[in-house]
Amino acid sequence: DKYIKNIEEVVNKNKNNDERYLLNFSLAHIYDKKGEYILAEKNFIVANKLKSKKNKYNKNKTKLIIDETINSFNNELYNDLKDDNSKPVTPIFILGMPRSGTSIIEQIISNHDKVYGAGEIIKMTQIEEKYKNMFSKKMRYPSSIKFINKEIIQNLSNQYTEYLTSLNPESNIFTDKLPGNFIRIGLIKLLFPYAKIIHCKRHPIDTCLSIFFTNFSDNINYSFNLKNIGNYYLNYYRLMAH
């Protein structure tokens, strides 16, 4: 209790928001472990409010991206680009919302001696960016996926498999557990039709509150406001249903 009181005094005296929110997150987790949930909630709210001041979440932009993704990745696209060729590397994509259990699933799977756990790698994000840039003058992605062809698919899938192989040349089965890859499933299934995709699901309230209780990096800009988290979750849910 004396330790907590000292932290509270430091928080109250500190006028630097970039330092205060870290202290509030720390206090919140301490109170949570002590079972003092009202004080924990108070500090989580303060911490997230301080951090959200410089993180602008755009609900309309999120809805637009999900709408375009649903419209662009359709049956017609896959029928035209059906690829029966097997790849030298088998990726297993473990994805879903943050705090949904992706880490423990990867730990379980990568315990198998034939599987290499690559962790949260951003290679698929980089490949998606490469494709965006190819047709950025013609059309915005994801609508521009209509211009993809088998040659591009081969090239991009090779880049991904080469990267995985560089991590561990002895393995040909890898896990990629970047949760946000759920938004790239359409692209993933074009590059790797037979890739394994594991969608981790947790109760929506548990998922959303756990995100709110976590001090995420700025790029997860919806995570500092409960309404924004709820909005993002509903859009994620729409896309996964598609």
pLDDT digits (tens, 9 = 90+) for 63-103: 999 999 999 999 999 888 876 666 788 999 999 999 999 99
Helices (H), the chain: 2-13, 17-34, 37-52, 59-72, 75-80, 102-110, 123-134, 150-167, 185-191, 204-212, 226-241
Q: Residue 77, Cβ neighbours under 10 Å: how many?
A: 15
Beta bridge partners of 93: 176, 197
Average pLDDT, stretch 214-239? 95
Indicate whether 6 pLDDT > 80: no
Rounded CA separation 242/238 (Å): 6
Indicate whether 231 pLDDT > 90: yes
- Total residues found in the chain within this entry: 242
Indicate whether 42 pLDDT > 80: yes
- Give this prediction's pTM: 0.91
- 168 band by pLDDT with thresholds 50, 70 and 90: very high
Indicate whether 30 pLDDT > 80: yes
CA dihedral angle for residue 213, residue 59, residue 148, residue 242, rounded to 10 degrees: 70
Average pLDDT, stretch 200-217? 96
Question: What pLDDT is recorded for position 187?
Answer: 97
Average pLDDT, stretch 206-213? 97
The mean pLDDT value of the chain amounts to 93
Question: What pLDDT is recorded for position 239?
Answer: 98
Question: What pLDDT is recorded for position 85?
Answer: 61
